[in-house]
Structure 1
C-alpha cells in the first residue's frame, strides 16, 4: 500500500510517499481503508522529532497521521462493534500506524460510525480536534450548562469545535480570534467575539467559569491574563500539554481557587458517537479550509505550520467513485 512515511526527522522535505506492507489488525483492532485524513499540528510536530511529551514514543520509520475516515476492511477476532464495510471515522494508533496511508489499523474503541451527513473528506476533519475539545470541556473543564466559557484560539481546529460544543450544551460562549475570523465565530454560534488584534480580552470580559486555551500560544504571561478573568473557583484548561505552567501561574490559580488542567485528548467511541449525533442534528458544523491530494502532503504541512488555518486541512488518500 502507499503511505506517507518519515525515515528521519526534519522539515517537510523528509516526507516520503512509498510502498509499505499493509498492516494486519490485532484481535482488538480494525483495519480501515482510508479515504481521507485530517492534517493536525501533532503530525508535523512528530515529523520534526516531537516535543518532550512525544519524543519517548517516537521510533523511525513512522507513518504519519492521526485522523482517519474510511471503510472497515477487516476486524480483529475480539471486535464486535463493527463489521466489514462499515463507514467509520476515528483516530489511528498514535504514533506510528498512521492514517496518511491507504490502510491503517487502530484499536476498535478509537473509531465510531461516521456522521451520516458527512462525506469522508469532512468526517476526516473531525476526530482529533473534536476529541481534544471534548476532553478539555467535558472531561476536565467542570462544564455545566449556563456557564460563561471563553475560548482562546476559537477559529482553529480545536477551538471551532469547542465553541460549538459549549454552545450546543448551553453555555454563553466567548471566542477570541483575529479580525478576519470574527464573522466565522458568529456563524459557529459564539455569543460574543473578541478581536485579539485590537482588543485586550482581560479588559473586556470577567466572571468566566471556564477558559479553554486552544490557541497555539504557549505563553505563561497570556495564561496569567486568562486566569485573571476567571471567577473564583473557575477552571483553566489548556490543550497545550507540552507547555507546563510556571510558578507565577500556579500562584495565580491558587489565589483564584481555580483548577488548572492540561489533559491529553482521549479517543473514546462513545464520545465520537455523541459528536456524530450533534453533527447529524445540525448543532455542529465541520469547516474545511483546504483539501490536498496525497502527493501534496508537504504543502499541507507548510500551510498547517503557519497557524493561519480556519477549520481543518485534509489529505485526500482515495477518491470516492
Structure 2
C-alpha cells in the first residue's frame, strides 16, 4: 500500500507558488449538509463565487484514502453522490486514509489540511461550538480547539442557534481565537443575523480584515485562527418568529426523546428543515455563498503573503 498523502491540484499549487489568492472550502456541506441533488449544484456554485471575486477555490476532501486539496468535478460528484462518504474531523483523517475511504472534511479538518499546504483563508457556513448542557455532556465541537492552534482566517456566519452561543464565545476567548464582526458588532446566529451577543471588534472591509490577519501573523502572539463573523442581511435571514418557534419545538423534541451527544444536532437540523418547509435550507445556501464571496475578497486583499507551495502530485 502506498503512503497516505495530500495531493494539491495543479491549479491550486500554481496559485500558491505565484502568491495568488486561494480560498479553502470544506466538503462536509456537500456530502452531509445539503440534500441531493442540490448539494452538487451548490458545491459548483460556491467555487464559481470564489472565482468571481478574484480567488482560486480549493475544496478539500478525501477520495479512496487520498486527501485532495482542490477537488476536480469528478471528485466533487463522487463525494456529493456517494452512499458511504465518512464525515472526517481531525482525528478521523488518518484512520480513514488507512482504510482507503471516501470522506468529507469538517471545519476542523479542512482548516488543518489547508493551513498545512499554505492556504490562509477558509470559507464555511457556520462553526461548531459548545452544545447546550455541555456542563453535563462535555459535548464541544473539535472546531474550537483546532482553531486555537491552526493559523487561518475563517469566514463564517457564527454558530447555529441550536448551540450554546454564549459558552462558545467564552471558549473561543479562553482558547485565544480572535473573533471579529464583519460590518457588525453583534455575533450572528447562522440562520439569524443577530444571536444576541456582542463582539469586541468590528471590521468594515476585506482590506481591514486582511490587515488584521497580517498583523496577527507578524506579531506571532497567538498560533491560532481569526474568525470573521459575517451575518446575512436582516432581509435575507430566516424569519425570526419562525426561527424561534421551530427552535423551541426542536429543543422540546430533544428533551422528550432523551436525545443526547452527537445525535442532538442532526435531530434539531432535521426538524428545522421539515418545520420551515425548506426555508432553513435556502438560508443555509445564501450563507455559504455570501461567506465564499467575502473570503475571496479577503484573500485577494492580501491576507496571505506569498509563500512556497507544496509539490503538486
Query: Highest Rg: 1 or 2?
Result: 1
Kindly indicate which of the two structures has a greater share of residues assigned to helix.
2
Kindly indicate which of the two structures has a greater share of residues assigned to strand.
1
What's the TM-score, normalizing by structure 1?
A: 0.30
What's the TM-score, normalizing by structure 2?
A: 0.31
